[in-house]
Amino acid sequence: MATSDPVGRDPLAEKVDAWWLGVLSGEPGNDHPVYGSDLHAKLKGDILKVSGVLESENARKELEKEILTLGEGGIRRVRVKVEVVELQGDRGVLKQTILAFYTNAAQARMAERHLEGHSGLRPTCSQVLDAQTAADVLKEVAVEWRRELAEGFRKGKSLLLVEVDEIEVFRAAELLEETKSLEVLVLPPKVY
């Protein structure tokens, strides 16, 4: 697993590991750090039962990876009853770009994984940029932010660029603020 900070920690992975440890030790009721209250897991005897609703096949695959990392821990069988329900709801007419600065590329990639794992959030674009790959992005940013972004790149910082539907922008920005972002900037909306 990729590390997210200089001392080799991945805070999201640590939260997920702690959640599974709680499940395996019989602790009730905490929401999964990525899938929230839509996912339930319980160890009954030597059978791990996982159920709930996920909003993408990608989320289901990530969940399966999590379960595979649990090791034995007294588990002899796993029963997974997870339904994938793709969101079909309203989409806005506009898309918005979110820029989030990080100390390094590893932290930016960890934040990108954090967003990808959240059900209901469907970025249309997500990429980690550095000084060489961000020239086009700088053209779209207001002049007062260009200097700040350019200065961040000069200091070796990385930028996570995420495009989301206007309906998802507040949730996505909020999730990025939970990561180790130095700054989160939401650009004005554009028509799809």
The CATH number assigned to the domain holding 45 equals 3.30.1340
120 and 52: one domain? no
98 and 183: one domain? yes
> What mean pLDDT do residues 116-126 have?
79
The range of the structural domain enclosing residue 122 comes to 94-191
Banded pLDDT at 88 (limits 50, 70, 90):
low
4 in a domain, yes or no?
no
1 in a domain, yes or no?
no
101 and 76: one domain? no
| pTM of the predicted structure, to 2 decimals | 0.58
Q: How many domains does the chain have?
A: 2
187 and 105: one domain? yes
117 and 170: one domain? yes
Residue-wise pLDDT for 26-50, tens only, equals: 886 678 887 777 888 998 888 889 9
Tokens of 132: 């060489």
Q: Which residue shows structure tokens 């200091």?
A: 155
71 and 140: one domain? no
DSSP label of 120: T
5 in a domain, yes or no?
no
> What mean pLDDT do residues 153-178 have?
88
Given a cut of 60, is residue 157 above it in pLDDT? yes
**φ and ψ at residue 179, rounded to 5 degrees:** -85, -175
Given a cut of 80, is residue 80 above it in pLDDT? yes
Q: Contact 122/165 with Cβ under 8 angstroms?
A: yes
